Amino acid sequence: PNAAHIAVATLWTLGRLDCCITQNVDNLHQRAGLPDDAVIEVHGNATRARCLACGAAFSRDEVHAWLDDGVAVPACPACGGVVKPHTILFGEAMPPIAWAEAGHRARAADLFVVVGSSLVVYPAAYLPAHAKAAGARLAIVNLTPTPCDHAADVVVRARAGEALPALLDHLTQARLS
């Protein structure tokens, strides 16, 4: 995890963050300290696998053990279905539970902060508009312009690893004052 992931986890610990909706599949938010139930992974998680038939969950280590044993296509021990990484590929549907929760949280947000996203990958790129339409303030932290910049209340052109620790410092100082 980098300084941005750590700042996000710290904001959650301080009670300043409800959840983290992420398109990343790298598990870095959890490694930085966010609990699983505070992270909504709309593109899945590469550290996990699932059976396409029954939905059974497996760790990456379990799948690697099967592959190390020479299994070309891992099969679910429960039903025999194909086991694949718990990530989505272009053209695949978003995980329905995660997507529904992301939409609900976006519409319930007071402040929706987009960090390090070009906002061109749909349907996830709709989330800021859903939040804004429901009355949230919108902040975008990204190095390059996004299609949603015009709707944002605040746009910060900076690296996430610089901007989020600065935000955390500001909020911490404001809280101490």
| pLDDT one-digit tens code per residue, 52-96 | 999 899 998 898 999 999 988 999 999 999 999 889 888 888 888
- In the set 5, 43, 86, 130, the catalytic residue is 43
| pLDDT one-digit tens code per residue, 114-163 | 999 999 988 899 999 999 999 999 999 999 999 999 999 999 999 999 99
- pTM equals 0.86
User: Domains in the chain, ordered, with CATH?
Assistant: 3-43+92-176 (3.40.50.1220), 44-87 (3.30.1600.10)
Euclidean distance between CA atoms 46 and 32, whole angstroms: 16
CB distance 135 to 111 below 8 Å: no
The helix-helix angle for 160-176 and 3-13 (nearest 10°) equals 30
Task: Give me 104's structure tokens.
Answer: 């609900």
| Residue 11: Cβ-neighbour burial (10 angstroms; 0-12, 13-18, 19+) | buried
Return the number of other C-beta atoms located less than 10 Å from residue 70's C-beta: 6
- Is 43 labeled as catalytic in the residue annotation? yes
Helix, strand, or coil (residue 99)? helix
Cα angle at 19 between 118 and 83, to 5 degrees? 75
